[in-house]
Amino acid sequence: MSAAHLTWLDGAPATALPLPDRGFSFGDGLFETLLIRGGRALFLDLHLLRFQYGCARLFLPDCTDRLQRDILAFCASLPPEHHWAALRATVTRGAGPRGYAPPPEPAPRIVLEATPLARDCLVQLPPARLVEAQHTVPLQPSLAGIKHLNRLDQVLIAREARSAAADDALVYDSAGRLVSSGNANVFLVIGGELHTPLLEDAGITGTRRQLVCHEWASALGLDVRIGVLDRGHVQRSAALFLTNSLVGVRAVGQLGERTFEDHSIARRLFAEYARSCG
């Protein structure tokens, strides 16, 4: 195990995942990506609530309390070079017999992985360069909102962004509706209001998206509207910004050939985010 990348399996250091495992075989499980600061997982309560909701959606045994204990112990064990770190918490349904049908009494496995981040995460990243992804994500209401393990859509989207020398790609569903970027939730600024996609059929309901919608925007006197958005809304927007657990709030500086100059709302929201991380 390298000093830079630390892994625990079910509460103890590990270098391998026992097989068989339904997470490996079928993507049968959930994950959360958390930001660590000085041995503390930021906004842990929101991540645990989403994880618990995901367990119910996938009919996984609710191991939220166990996950919380493991995360707290793992974070307390991190060395100083992990002051800022990305924590990936993966929960699989565990082992099972051959076939898709889940075992009647699954024993979930918890894998925690920490990777140090070589930056001060309270300093906002420069505006991102985006392209519009050609790949569209399918409509799947049963899986919308949760962080299930099948991320093949995101793999293909990330490949598109990298091929275009972009930071990320704006993503639409198969019906032409705006969903997100490849790895973040997206907000549009239209007429001084914030607009973010309704995620009933696709996408992930991010923790920082939730905080923008319910806390940070209102603290700045901004209204947030959640609804169906399409390319027309993107074209009419005066600004775009992204939110996820590792960047907080990041402005979009370029989308394809279009440039966005006004990043004031993204800066103000990032200041609210930074204060919340204190």
Query: pLDDT tens across 116-154, in order?
Result: 999 999 999 999 999 999 999 999 999 999 999 999 999
In order, the DSSP letters of 177-245 are -EEEESSSEEEEEETTEEEEE--SSSSB--HHHHHIIIIIHHHTT--EEEE---HHHHHH-SEEEEEET
Residue whose token pair is 């990043």? 263
Burial of 164 (0-12, 13-18, 19+ CB in 10 A): middle
The pLDDT of residue 215 is 96
Beta pairing class for 109-116 and 128-132: unpaired
Q: Give the pLDDT confidence of 31-49 residue by residue, as tens digits.
A: 999 999 999 999 999 999 9
The Cα–Cα gap between 97 and 231 comes to: 45
pLDDT band at 278 (very low <50, low <70, confident <90, very high): confident
Q: Give the pLDDT confidence of 141-197 residue by residue, as tens digits.
A: 999 999 999 999 999 999 999 999 999 999 999 999 999 999 999 999 999 999 999
Q: Which two tokens stand for residue 250?
A: 């990041």
User: Which class does domain 128-276 fall in?
Assistant: alpha beta
List the domain boundaries for the chain.
6-116, 128-276
Q: Mean pLDDT, the chain, as a whole number?
A: 96
Query: What does the pLDDT average to over 251-266?
Result: 97
Q: Give the pLDDT confidence of 54-99 residue by residue, as tens digits.
A: 999 999 999 999 999 999 999 999 999 999 999 999 999 999 999 9
The pLDDT of residue 4 is 67
Q: pTM here?
A: 0.95
pLDDT band at 1 (very low <50, low <70, confident <90, very high): very low
In what helix (H) or strand (E) does residue 158 lie, and over which residues does it extend? helix 152-163
CA 179-181-186 angle, to 5 degrees, is 70
Judge whether residue 2 has pLDDT over 70.
Answer: no
Fold exhibited by the domain 6-116: D-amino Acid Aminotransferase; Chain A, domain 1 (3.30.470)
The Cα–Cα gap between 102 and 129 comes to: 42
The pLDDT of residue 91 is 98
The pLDDT of residue 237 is 98
The Cα–Cα gap between 274 and 268 comes to: 10
Q: Is the Cβ–Cβ distance between 186 and 240 less than 8 Å?
A: yes
Q: Is the Cβ–Cβ distance between 131 and 254 less than 8 Å?
A: no
Q: Give the pLDDT confidence of 245-258 residue by residue, as tens digits.
A: 999 999 999 999 99
Q: Which amino acid is at 83?
A: H
Judge whether residue 269 has pLDDT over 70.
Answer: yes
